[in-house]
Amino acid sequence: MKRLPGPGRRRNPLTNIGLTPHQRRWFDALVAGVVTLFGASWILAVVNAVTMGIPRPAVAEMTSNPLSSGAAALAPRLLEAATQKFVERAGFRGHSGQVRIVVHQPGQPELNDTIAGEAIIEYASTSDTVRASSPPPGVWNVLLRIKDSVREVPDLKVLSMVPLTEKRNGRIGQYLVGTWPNESGGKARSAAYDAPRGMVRVTPENLDVPVSRHFLLRHFVTKGQESVWPKYVLLSPKVLDKIELTIDELKKTGTPVNRVGVISGFRTPTYNSGGGDTSGRGALSRHMYGDAMDWFVDNNGDGRMDDLNKDGRIDINDGRVIVKAAESVERHYPDLVGGIGLYRPTGAHSGFVHLDTRGTRARW
């Protein structure tokens, strides 16, 4: 009579599939190897998640159960963390954390060189009708991809320049630009005064692209040539950073800033020669290089400087409140040093402050 297993004995399931003891040992070794490989991969994924900043509750969920829904969503979670780290590591937001653009110059390395890891950078047109692995001239959203998961980097646009070699007889297309000093030869006074390598194309569709917390792309467009499209501008993320930090400093010292007014951002060499000061330093105006802005605080939206010092008058002393804040910014952030100019009210305007990031200290 065949002996049945007693209550305390465990039946070996492999006996019923015809494996010999030798085969069972090999089978056990194979299973152990698979489990070890799975465990190592799981631990590596958790460590990677912690390193990239996945929130601790999610990591705890994956640690307690590697087959949980949280573990299954590892790629999207890693992508979310990679998106945040991408912006922080590259410093795209500036010291203020409020810059929203990257200006990509012709011949400059791709953004792919600024991030490590498995995330792949892609670009999508602002209408999301065109995708590209390398940004041609235009305004582009930035996408990060890990496997099948894709995430748009929030509040960040790549402004890819049109090469200046496209300029013919002082024009790019029909838009009159002019010529920079030393563009045709000679040595500039410093690298900050070299002719640009390209310009940003502006169309009616991208005029209102935010370039920082308080400014839009339209704020850098040169006055005039209203019916000519596309237009072309230069703009520097550094000057945006400096102004946003100045606004933050004003707020910290008790001056609220909810709205700003812009007198002038970028000015083409042609416009500068006809409508700007071309004597002395005006001949090398930083407005022609895209790292200068003339602006004022205009919380009530009346197009005039506000009474910032609360003395009941609109005069040059209101601009001095902005100048004091900008001086503080330069002391804390030496890489943003540049020009600070104070302009008193005239019949054409109610006064404003000029800020630029030329790299050397200038005051007037």
Q: How many CA atoms lie within 13 A of 117 on its CB side?
A: 22
pLDDT tens per residue, range 86-101 = 777 778 999 999 999 9
Burial tier of 353 (Cβ tally within 10 Å: 0-12, 13-18, 19+): buried
pLDDT tens per residue, range 109-168 = 777 655 545 678 889 988 777 888 888 899 999 998 887 788 899 999 999 999 999 999
pLDDT tens per residue, range 24-43 = 777 677 666 655 655 555 45
Q: Is residue 133 part of a domain?
A: yes
Query: Are 266 and 272 within 8 A, CB to CB?
Result: no
Of 160, 195, 213, which residue sits at a domain end?
A: 160
Q: Is residue 16 part of a domain?
A: no
Are residue 212 and residue 107 in the same domain, yes or no?
no
Are residue 117 and residue 184 in the same domain, yes or no?
no
Q: What is the mean pLDDT of the chain?
A: 83
Burial tier of 319 (Cβ tally within 10 Å: 0-12, 13-18, 19+): buried
Q: Phi and psi for 228 in degrees, rounded to 5?
A: -95, 125
Are residue 172 and residue 123 in the same domain, yes or no?
no
Output the six-digit token pair for 204. Answer: 């009616």
pLDDT value, residue 248? 98
Are residue 243 and residue 346 in the same domain, yes or no?
yes
pLDDT tens per residue, range 275-320 = 555 444 456 899 999 999 999 999 999 999 999 999 999 999 999 9
Are residue 181 and residue 299 in the same domain, yes or no?
yes
pLDDT value, residue 146? 81
User: Measured between alpha carbons, how far is 294 from 342 in angstroms, rounded to an integer?
Assistant: 9
Residue 252 has pLDDT above 60, yes or no: yes
Query: H-type helices in the chain, by residue range?
Result: 21-52, 56-64, 69-72, 74-90, 237-252, 269-275, 316-332
Sheet holding 162-163, edge to edge: 162-163, 198-202, 231-233
Are residue 179 and residue 125 in the same domain, yes or no?
no
- Residues in contact with 59: Cβ distance below 8 Å, sequence separation at least 6, in sequence order: 46, 49, 50
Strands 352-356 and 292-297: antiparallel
Query: Are 78 and 53 within 8 A, CB to CB?
Result: no
Are residue 175 and residue 291 in the same domain, yes or no?
yes
Q: Is residue 171 part of a domain?
A: yes
pLDDT value, residue 128? 74
User: Measured between alpha carbons, how far is 27 from 284 in angstroms, rounded to an integer?
Assistant: 79
Of 114, 139, 160, which residue sits at a domain end?
A: 160
Q: Which domain holds residue 283?
A: 162-363
Q: How many domains does the chain have?
A: 3
